[in-house]
Amino acid sequence: MTRTASTASPPPVATEPARIDKRGFRRRRRPPAGSPRSGRLLRGITPWLFLLVPLVLLVTFTYVPVGNMIYYSFTDWDGVSPDRDYVGTDNYTEIFTRPELFRVFAVSLYYLAASAVQIVIALYFATVLSFDLRFRNLFKGILFFPYLINGVAIGFVFLYFFQDGGTLDSVLSWFGVGTDHAWLGTPESANTSMAGVSVWRFTGLNFVLFLGAVQSIPGELYEAAQLDGASRWQQFRHIIAPSIRPVLSLSVILAISGSLSVFEIPYIMTGGATETSTFVIQTVKFAFQFNKTGLASACAVVLLAIILVITWIQRRLVPDEKVDLV
């Protein structure tokens, strides 16, 4: 006895009944509102629509000026005349054949040392204020407030603070310390004083960066460390320090680039006198005092190249490491 194959047809698929209008004609089904292709296209261009305005602003106020600066560095433009004669690399040759133009980088060492001090202070207060302390929000505001003040205003305030018979001398006289020292009269004291001003002003920026990194650490790690009997120092060494390493690297990059491009505080307080001139102040004088905009543009390009090279070297020596503490 043989078994025959089943020839039964599959059950019919249920279809949507046709729609009939009042005149008895069948209506056509409308296509869906959005096809898959148009949906993918819309999803693809939506991020660029949000980025359009920031990109336009970035190109207009960053990349276009940088391109013009590079172009001006190959001309002898004085900043006023419409004539811009091409001089090739003469401006760069003048920069690298005049060693006195690079001696001003010695002033940046004062601000680099001040940057190291402010990083240490900011890291200490970020660690302390990350724990549950009284009035910690008040101290956070006090530390960050100087960074919100305009740099020109800070320069004028501390100009009166350090002048002869000014605020500093008056405060020292209350404690019986009499001094006739001109705080801005010698290169060493002037650069040290202004570096101290930069510590007061920029500590808040590093403090906020470190505080955000510390507060992003899961609280369970602190609880486990406390159960194991870890002290505050051990918590900082084994939990906080490894987790904020990328932020610390960023702060070092900002410190180096900032120390090389100091401008506001020394320009307002001394105008570059008493050997307090920085490379940026020197560049500004070339452009607006000696009307050598082409040479000033070349100086700006050299400074930009130096900062980029130092940043690249630092990133190569201290690469970012993925931190996973959980």
pLDDT in tens, the chain (326 residues): 444 444 555 555 445 455 555 555 555 555 555 566 777 777 888 888 888 999 999 999 999 999 999 999 999 998 888 888 899 899 999 999 988 888 888 999 999 999 999 999 999 999 888 877 788 889 989 999 999 998 899 999 998 888 887 888 888 888 877 666 788 888 899 999 999 999 999 999 999 999 988 888 888 888 888 888 888 888 888 888 888 888 888 899 889 999 998 999 999 999 888 889 999 999 999 999 899 999 999 999 999 999 999 888 888 877 665 545 44
What letter would DSSP give residue 100?
A: G
Whole-structure pTM value: 0.78
φ, ψ for residue 86 (rounded to 5)? -75, 125
The residue assigned the tokens 């990109």 is: 55
Q: What 3-state DSSP class applies to 89?
A: coil
Smallest CA-to-CA distance from 295 within 25, 115, 94 is with 94
The alpha-carbon radius of gyration of the chain (Å, integer) is 32
Q: Which two tokens stand for residue 193?
A: 């004083």
